[in-house]
Amino acid sequence: MFNDFEILEEDVPVHLQVKQYIKRLILKGALHGDQKLASTREMGQLLGVSRNTVIAAYEGLEEEGFVYTLQGKGSYVAPLSAATGDAVPPWKTEWSSRLNDYARQAVDLDRMKSGIRAGRNTISFTSIAPDDHLFDLDHVKRAFLDRMAIEGNVLLNYGYAKGYKPLIEFLMRYMEQKGVDLQGKDMLITSGFTEGFDMILAALGKNNGGAVLCENPTHHTAIKNLKLNGFEIKGIPMEHDGINLRELERALSERAYDCAYFVPSYHNPTGIVTSPGKRIALMKLMAEHQIPVIEDGFNEELRYSGSHALPLIATAGRGNGVIYIGSFSKVLFPGLRVGWVLADRELIDYLESIKRARNIHTSTLDQSVLFQYLHNGHLEKYLKKARAEYKRKYEWTRLCCEKYIPFARVTGDGGLHLFLEFEENFDTHQLLEACSENGVIFTPGDLFFTDGGGVNTMRVGFSRVSDEDIDKGLRIIGGLAAKQLEG
């Protein structure tokens, strides 16, 4: 015994490694209860470490109750009545049979588990996460250190379910600047858009059978969360300037709905910005039919051209029927999981309790670093840089698409992605298979459709692809698409 000790990790103190080594022997049952341990001097020789190291290790073992000391006699292994795992008969449970439909559906709808993964040199157009080369790390560091200096102890202890107060105040003013009437409204900080959306759906009653209106296609994570929460989705086709209002009116005449979900800016996946006029017309219909609206503020911050379009919640004035979910995840730093829900005060009060029940509160560190970053005035500068860069990339991608790809229609007014539609019966899954063999992947568009349609569509996310790879990747896709069209 003791001849297989090795110093495995250079940056872990040796006495800790000795402690862990002996602990493992005790847990394995190789050392038994009340057995005397070698003296610290002897053990040091056995293991090839200093006596002081062994003293520190024995102290650590004693502190954790693995060893006891008899004055003048030495150290002994504590009798562990449950030392070895065989005291209890190990039994195997078949977990899948113990779980419910929610758990099963969560796996079935988990696109990350079924999607094609990019190999090392694959050019991937699947992501619409921000380009992390744009991140201004020094400002984030500064924000962290500033905030730690002001109230480090507060940041590391429990916070409030509603969120970090300075951040809420900042974002309330920020939303007011977008034209929102704050009267009667309140805010909850969530761990990103997805959590806000999921909690709202968990709270919403199904007075109308859980019927929900949305654009078709729409954000696939939203489709997943709607299904997981038991809602019935009614998708309305898109036009170049937003949802098709005639189709919407038809759907409204057919039945009542429990809510609607819309993405008015750089809509995922089509990239369409709903025009100001259509926003008003859409909201008039919602008001007339008294349908609560969940507005996805997705990528609103990236708007870089055209006249200003108010968020839906701003068009509603003092009305309390719109729930706005915001996030900087596609603009600033998705690693900081921070989003916000701005809505009627009474509703926020319910959501606050759900937030507390689900995970107490969003990371105070994330919230405070984000707050300090905003407070230090870095958002405007960063957005200016990001907008310019993404605009350039958008135009380059669009140019390459037009040059290489035999699509029937392209949509996308900017943002981080474009959406391509091929002629009917064209299968983008088949195209993806051929492309992935040639080192290029993208997102097939049918994932975003609420009705099984869209097999002839695809989303091209360009935010994290280099100019060179955009050209190269789209050329490959175009060539293979042309081949497929001929075949």
Which residues within the stretch 288-347 sit at the binding site for its own copies (CB under 8 A)?
290, 292, 303-310, 314-321, 333-337, 344, 346-347
Contact 324, 343 (CB under 8 A): yes
- For residues 27 and 116, which CB has a smaller minimum distance to its own copies in the complex? 27
Contact segment (CB under 8 A) with its own copies among 115-123, 352-360, 397-405, 453-461 equals 352-360
- For residues 1 and 82, which CB has a smaller minimum distance to its own copies in the complex? 82
Choice from 30, 107, 150, 482 touching its own copies (CB under 8 A): 107
Length of the chain: 487
Taking the mean position of all CA atoms in its chain, how far away is CA 243? Answer: 26
- For residues 42 and 151, which CB has a smaller minimum distance to its own copies in the complex? 151
Q: Determine, following the binding rule CB under 8 A, whether residue 358 of this chain makes contact with its own copies.
A: yes
Choice from 287, 410, 434, 476 touching its own copies (CB under 8 A): 287
Residue 293 C-beta: closest distance to its own copies, Å: 10
Residues 5-34 that bind its own copies (CB under 8 A): 11-13, 16, 20, 23-24, 27
Q: Which residue has the tokens 């409030």?
A: 160
In 405-453, alpha helices (H): 428-437
- For residues 224 and 417, which CB has a smaller minimum distance to its own copies in the complex? 224
Choice from 110, 395, 433, 451 touching its own copies (CB under 8 A): 110
- For residues 32 and 141, which CB has a smaller minimum distance to its own copies in the complex? 141
Residue 210 C-beta: closest distance to its own copies, Å: 10
Residues 238-277 that bind its own copies (CB under 8 A): 258, 276-277
Residues 71-100 that bind its own copies (CB under 8 A): 78-93, 95-100
Choice from 14, 31, 49, 66 touching its own copies (CB under 8 A): 66
State how beta strands 409-411 and 443-444 pair. unpaired
Residue 304 C-beta: closest distance to its own copies, Å: 7
Among 185, 228, 170, smallest CA distance to 351 is for: 185
Contact segment (CB under 8 A) with its own copies among 369-377, 419-427, 434-442, 448-456 equals 369-377
Beta partners for 185?
344
- Based on its alpha-carbon atoms, the radius of gyration of the chain, rounded to whole angstroms, reads 29
Residues in contact with its own copies, counted by CB under 8 A, come to a total of: 140
What does the block give as tokens for 106?
Answer: 């969560």
* DSSP assignments along 1-12, one per residue: --TT-----TTS
Burial class from Cβ neighbours inside 10 Å (0-12, 13-18, 19+) for residue 275 reads middle
Contact 216, 451 (CB under 8 A): yes
CA atoms of 168 and 140, how far apart (whole Å): 19
**307 C-beta neighbours (distance < 10 Å), count:** 6
- For residues 24 and 483, which CB has a smaller minimum distance to its own copies in the complex? 24
CA atoms of 130 and 125, how far apart (whole Å): 12
Kind and range of the H or E run holding 442: none
Contact 391, 462 (CB under 8 A): no
Residue 31 C-beta: closest distance to its own copies, Å: 13
Q: Which residue has the tokens 């600033």?
A: 332
Residues 113-172 that bind its own copies (CB under 8 A): 113, 129-130, 132-133, 135, 137, 140-141, 144-145, 148, 152-159, 161
Choice from 150, 256, 357, 485 touching its own copies (CB under 8 A): 357
Residues 384-413 that bind its own copies (CB under 8 A): 384, 387
Taking the mean position of all CA atoms in its chain, how far away is CA 199? Answer: 14
